[in-house]
Amino acid sequence: MHGSLRWWPIALLILLLVIPYSALPVPGLLDGPLGSPGSLQLIALCLLYGALATGYDLLLGRAGLLSFGHALYFATGLYSTDLGMLELGLPFAAAAVFGVACAVALALLLGSVSLRVTGIGFSMVTLAFAQAGSILVQRNPGGITGGEEGRSAPAGRLPSALLGIENTANLYWIAVAYLVLTLAAVHWAVGSPIGRVWQGIKENERRVEVLGLRPYGYKLVAFVLAGALAGVGGVVYLLLTGGATPQAATSDATLSLLVMVVLGGSGTRWGPLLGGVLYTWAGHRLGDLANSASVADLPAVLRVPLSQPLFLLGGLFVAVVYLLPGGLARLPGRIRAARSVRSARSAGPAGAGVRPTGGSPA
C-alpha cells in the first residue's frame, strides 16, 4: 500500500506531460478533449491555483501563520509585471523579473511589520494591508491599474509563442513549470533546518524561544518565500488570462486559498495542491451548471440557490470539512485506519474464546 502511494506523483507527472498530446474526451469533467485549447486553459488554471495553495500552506500549515493578505503578493506580481510593460516599456522577461522583485520587496516590508504581532493580531494586520491594496487597485490612481476593468497585457511585449489559441499548449507548459517550481521550493524548505524550526513554531513558539532561537526571523523567511512564490504565480496568471484584474487583489482571493488548503489538507505534502485543483475546477464547472437550462427549469426555491456558484462551492466545502476532517489528503489514512479497526473487531471474538490451560491463579 505505502509503496504504491509513493509512485502516484510520478504517475501524475507523466499524465501532465501527455495531456497536451491527447485527444481523449472526458465528458462531465471537461467540455472538450484533453488536448483542446479550452481544456488546456482550464487545467492550467487548476495547476496555477494548486501551486498557489501549496505556497500559501507554507504559512498556514508549516509555520502556523493565518494570513488574510496572501493574495496581495499574487496581485503585486501580476500588476507590476503588466505595468512594467505598459508604463516602463520593458520587455516581458525584464517586466516579469520586476514584478517578482516587487512582490518580494513588498512581502519583506509588510511581513516585517505584520510579524511584530502574533495570533489574531497578525491575521488582522495582514487583512488590513490586503484591504488597502484592494482599495488602491480599485481607485485607479493615475489610471495605472484600470480600476474595475483592469488592464490588458500589451500583446506587442509578449513572446509570440505565448499568443493565440494555437499556443495554449505553451501556456500550459508554463503552468506545469510553475507547479514543479513551487513543489520543489516547498519540499526543500520544509525539509531544511529552517523547516524544522517552522514546525516547532507551529507547535509551541514559546518553546522555540526557550531554545535560544528567534521565531521572528524564521517566520519572516516563510512569509517572504511564500510571497515570492505568489509573485511568480501572478506572472503566470497574467500570461494565462492576458491581463490584470482587480479580483486578484481582493481579500476574497486569499479566503479562496484558505478554503483550498483546508479542503485538501493543511500541513500535508500534496493536500493543498489537490484542494487548489479541485476548488478551481469545481468553480468553473459549477458556474456552468448554475447557468444551465436544467437549473433554470427548477422551482424558484431550488433555482435561486443553485444558480449561485458560491453557494454550491460553500455547500461542497462544508460537506468535506464535516465528513473528512483533516482534508482530502488524509482520506487514505482514514480508510486504512478504518480497515484496521474492522479487522481487529472481526478477529476479536476468535481471540476472546482462547483461555490459558493448566495452573491456578496465585
Q: Is the pLDDT of residue 54 over 50?
A: yes
Residue 290, pLDDT > 50, answer yes
Q: Is the pLDDT of residue 215 over 60?
A: yes
pLDDT score of 3: 45
Measure the CA–CA gap between 357 and 362, rounded to whole angstroms.
Answer: 14
Q: Per-residue pLDDT averaged across 198-222, rounded?
A: 92
Considering the entire predicted model, what is its pTM? 0.87
Q: Give yes or no for residue 4 having a pLDDT over 50.
A: no
pLDDT at 124 over 90: yes
**Residues 12-343, CATH architecture:** Orthogonal Bundle (1.10)
Kindly tell me if the per-residue pLDDT of 34 is higher than 60: yes
Q: What are the pLDDT digits (tens) for 320-333?
A: 778 777 788 877 77
pLDDT of 323 reads 79
Instruction: Give the pLDDT band of residue 276 (cuts 50, 70, 90).
Output: very high
Spell out the SS3 assignment of the chain.
CHHHHHHHHHHHHHHHHHHHHCCCECCCCCCCECCCHHHHHHHHHHHHHHHHHHHHHHHHHHCCCCCCCCHHHHHHHHHHHHHHHHCCCCCHHHHHHHHHHHHHHHHHHHHHHHCCCCCHHHHHHHHHHHHHHHHHHHHCHHHCCCHHHCEECCHHHCCHHHCCHHHHHHHHHHHHHHHHHHHHHHHHHHHCHHHHHHHHHHHHHHHHHHCCCCHHHHHHHHHHHHHHHHHHHHHHHHHHHCEECHHHHCHHHHHHHHHHHHHHCCCCCCHHHHHHHHHHHHHHHHHHHHCCHHHHCCCHHHHHHHCCHHHHHHHHHHHHHHHCCCCHHHHHHHHHHHHHHHHHHHHHHHHHCCCCCCCCCC
The three grid cell numbers given for residue 273, joined into one nine-digit string: 495542491
**What's residue 85's pLDDT?**
94
- pLDDT > 70 fraction of the chain, expressed in percent and rounded: 87
CB atoms within 10 A of CB 345: 9
Percent of the chain with pLDDT over 90: 47
Cα 213 from Cα 206, distance rounded (Å): 10
Q: What is the CA radius of gyration of the chain?
A: 24
Domain residue ranges of the chain, discontinuous segments joined by +: 12-343
Using pLDDT thresholds of 50, 70 and 90, give the confidence band for residue 291: low
What's the whole-number mean pLDDT along residues 203-224?
92
